[in-house]
Amino acid sequence: MTAEKESTVLQDLHRDLIYDWNDMGETLPPPLRPVQFDDETLRDGLQAPSVKSPPIEEKIRLLHLMNDLGIHTANLGLPGAGPNHVEHMTRLATEIRDQKLKIAANAACRTVLADVEPLAKIIDAVGIPIEACTFIGSSPIRRYVEEWSIDAMLKNIEASVTFAVKHNIPVMMVTEDTTRADPETLTKLYTTAIECGASRICLSDTVGHCTPSGAKNLVRFARTIVARTGGKVGIDFHGHNDRGLGVMNALAAASAGATRIHGTALGIGERCGNCSMDQLLVNMRLLEWIDNDLSKLQAYVDLIAKVCEVPVPVNYPVFGADAFRTQAGVHAAAVVKAFKRGEDWLANRVYSGVPADMFGLKQKIEIGPMSGDHNVRFWLETRGIPVTDEKVKAILNVAKERNRILTEKEIREIAG
């Protein structure tokens, strides 16, 4: 059998081994065109009250990981927040320029000249484009609290966007709290921004109010505004995770026609955080919406966990300590049997909905109170320790008496 024919046989076998109900009447069709990603870790992510802001050297390391993961743009910060922010943004933009990174830069600015002007100075100093993400609240509740009139908001948008465009700064018009704003107001805000030269609009679920249906409805509505203006204007979706729907909303928005999706590493950000960029990339890869090399996704997550001092829950999808780790006898037995057939493909799917090897990770078999013979034999064999029935029995006897998994040191001492 030729290698090509053998590969085809294996592919057919793999399809036969998993029946996928997700393909039955799927209500989430793939995007009509490739979707871009905007990483908000260094801006919205660092606004979280519990995270530590990393030094510039670590921000630069993160920027390189974003670039390697195929993320298209990174928000470098808020130029209007003070000289330290301007300094870090300048260093990051310089790194993009000097290292010829593929990732592009943007920055958050209120719709006031005091925020856009310092961004213009950074651009002049560095010599690369930096998109201005000009934002203003849009919901009735926000306007009521701030005592904003629509006319005053429109004047601010016109002044800030016109200034940016005059200085050759690309503009994305961001409406905060879009998912609780009325259609009439959104139409006025977006239309004014587009007519003044904005090349993108951003639908922001600022308080995490949205559901997947809401995300789809909002994107479809935004597409009608863009169609009426006659311009080639991109549509971004920026979601928060207050209902635990951040990733699902992002997928729904992309499916409905959003052209760029925002997220942060580990989902860090205000309150319950943003859409998790790492989880979003994982799901889009599994849906076959992207083919990015995600082998550095673990490094991306680990870096943020370390430098921002954000503990990763043990049950966090894909990158939590327990994601591909089991002590249960039934689970371990199936994984071990698959490994013994010499089929990593099988072992990484028999008890996993996410294949560990797709993300450079491995299955781990532990020994604890719920374990069986397969756990112990596999554990010993993979470490080159001779296996005997006596050793297996002795280790299991101790494990059954504990309320946790055994440590490596404990198992080795029992095995002699």
Residue 317 lies in a domain: no
What is the pLDDT at residue 4? 60
Task: Report the 10 Å Cβ neighbour count for 47.
Answer: 17
Residue 22 lies in a domain: no
Residue 6 lies in a domain: no
What is the pLDDT at residue 21? 80
Nearest to 244 by CA among 265, 218, 219, 275: 275
Q: Are residues 365 and 233 in the same domain?
A: no
Q: Are residues 152 and 279 in the same domain?
A: yes
Q: Are residues 379 and 290 in the same domain?
A: no
Whole-angstrom CA distances from 161 to 37, 76, 262 are: 23, 19, 21
What is the pLDDT at residue 265? 98
What is the pLDDT at residue 148? 96
Q: Are residues 289 and 331 in the same domain?
A: no
Alpha-carbon Rg for the chain, nearest whole angstrom, is 25
**C-beta of residue 274 within 8 angstroms of C-beta of residue 241:** yes
Q: Are residues 244 and 376 in the same domain?
A: no
Q: Are residues 202 and 229 in the same domain?
A: yes
CATH number, domain of 34, equals 3.20.20.70
Assessment of whether the complete model's pTM goes beyond 0.85? yes
DSSP one-letter code for 177: T
Angle made by CA atoms 383, 388, 391, in degrees to the nearest 5: 80
Task: Report the 10 Å Cβ neighbour count for 272.
Answer: 15
Q: What are the residues whose beta carbons fall under 8 Å from the beta carbon of 78, sequence distance 6 or more?
A: 43, 85, 107, 108, 109, 115
Task: Report the 10 Å Cβ neighbour count for 201.
Answer: 25
Q: What are the residues whose beta carbons fall under 8 Å from the beta carbon of 209, sequence distance 6 or more?
A: 177, 179, 180, 242, 243
Residue 178 lies in a domain: yes
Q: What are the residues whose beta carbons fall under 8 Å from the beta carbon of 87, sequence distance 6 or more?
A: 56
Angle made by CA atoms 114, 115, 117, in degrees to the nearest 5: 70
Q: Are residues 248 and 371 in the same domain?
A: no
Map 203-232 to HEC letters.
EEECCCCCCHHHHHHHHHHHHHHHHHHCCC
What is the pLDDT at residue 341? 85
What is the pLDDT at residue 3? 55
Residue 152 lies in a domain: yes
Residue 38 lies in a domain: yes
Instruction: Give the domain extent around 392.
Output: 325-415
Structure tokens at 27: 């209500």
Q: Are residues 303 and 338 in the same domain?
A: no
DSSP one-letter code for 276: B
What is the pLDDT at residue 28? 87
How far is Cα 191 from Cα 166, in angstroms, rounded to an integer? 18
Nearest to 85 by CA among 110, 62, 53, 48: 53
Q: Are residues 199 and 229 in the same domain?
A: yes
Domain boundary among 250, 272, 307: 307
Q: Are residues 165 and 125 in the same domain?
A: yes
Number of domains in the chain: 2
What is the pLDDT at residue 15? 72
Q: Are residues 266 and 353 in the same domain?
A: no
Residue 21 lies in a domain: no
Residue 232 lies in a domain: yes
Q: Are residues 134 and 176 in the same domain?
A: yes
Domain boundary among 280, 307, 334: 307
Tens-digit pLDDT string for the chain (416 aa): 555 655 555 566 677 888 888 877 667 899 989 999 999 999 999 999 999 999 999 999 999 999 999 999 999 999 999 999 999 999 999 999 999 999 999 999 999 999 999 999 999 999 999 999 999 999 999 999 999 999 999 999 999 999 999 999 999 999 999 999 999 999 999 999 999 999 999 999 999 999 999 999 999 999 999 999 977 999 999 999 999 999 999 999 999 999 999 999 999 999 999 999 999 999 999 999 999 999 999 999 999 999 999 999 999 999 999 999 999 999 999 999 998 887 788 899 999 999 999 998 999 999 999 999 999 999 999 999 999 999 999 999 999 999 999 999 999 999 98
What is the pLDDT at residue 23? 76
What is the pLDDT at residue 163? 98
What is the pLDDT at residue 19? 84
Domain boundary among 272, 307, 342: 307
DSSP one-letter code for 29: P
